[in-house]
Amino acid sequence: PISVNYHFTRKCNYQCGFCFHTAKTSHMAELEVAKIGLQKLRDAGMRKLNFAGGEPFLYPEFLGKLVQFCKETLKLESVSIISNGSRIQKSWFDKYGQYLDILGISCDSFDEQVNMEIGRGTGKHVQNIFKVREWCYEHNIKFKLNTVVCKYNYTEDMNESVARLAPFRWKCFQVLIVKTENDGG
C-alpha cells in the first residue's frame, strides 16, 4: 500500500446531501492503537498517507499528533488531510503545520446560498476557505481544492474564485449514489 486514505472518523459537522460518510458508525481507535496500525502500514510499504473523514478537524489534537508521528517517526514522504475547513484554527497550523505537506479543502460552490442548499455550512464556508488558504501559504503547505459537481452547482463558473485561491491541484468529482449511504434511504 504505497498511498493510504485513513478515514479515522465518519462524524462531520456538515450535512452534505451527497456525502457517503455519514455518522452511522464511527468507532475511533485510541491514539496508540492508531499509531501501531500506521506503523504496520509503513512496514508494509506505505509512503503517503491522507487523513480524511467525516471531518478530521473535529479531533484536532488526535489529528495533529498522528500527523506529527507520520512525519517524525514514520518518515513518510507525504502527509495530507482532506477537510471541509470549518474547524481549522491557526493555532493548529502553528503547532502541527510543519508536519503537513498538503491540505485539501472541499468547496462545492462560491455562492454561500448554494453551499447551504448542499448542506455545507451555514454561510461562512467560502470565507473560511480563503482564510485556511492563507494559513497554508504562511506554513508552506500545498493547498488543494476538491469540488463535488451536483445538481446545485453544475452551471456555476468557478474559474475566477479558483484562480484567486490558486490551489496546486483542483479535483472535481461527480456525485455517485452509494446504496444505503447517500441514496435517501
Catalytic residue positions, numbered:
12, 16, 19
Cα separation, 88 vs 77, whole angstroms:
23
Phi/psi zone of residue 82: left (φ > 0), alpha (ψ -120 to 50 degrees), beta? beta
Q: Are 115 and 127 in contact (CB under 8 A)?
A: no
| Closest C-alpha among 134, 135, 150 to residue 16 | 150
**Cell 492563507 belongs to which residue?**
134
| Closest C-alpha among 131, 113, 130 to residue 122 | 113
Cα separation, 181 vs 7, whole angstroms:
15
Cα separation, 102 vs 124, whole angstroms:
23
User: Could you say which DSSP state residue 85 is in?
Assistant: S
Evaluated on CA atoms 121, 25, 59, 63, the torsion sign reads negative
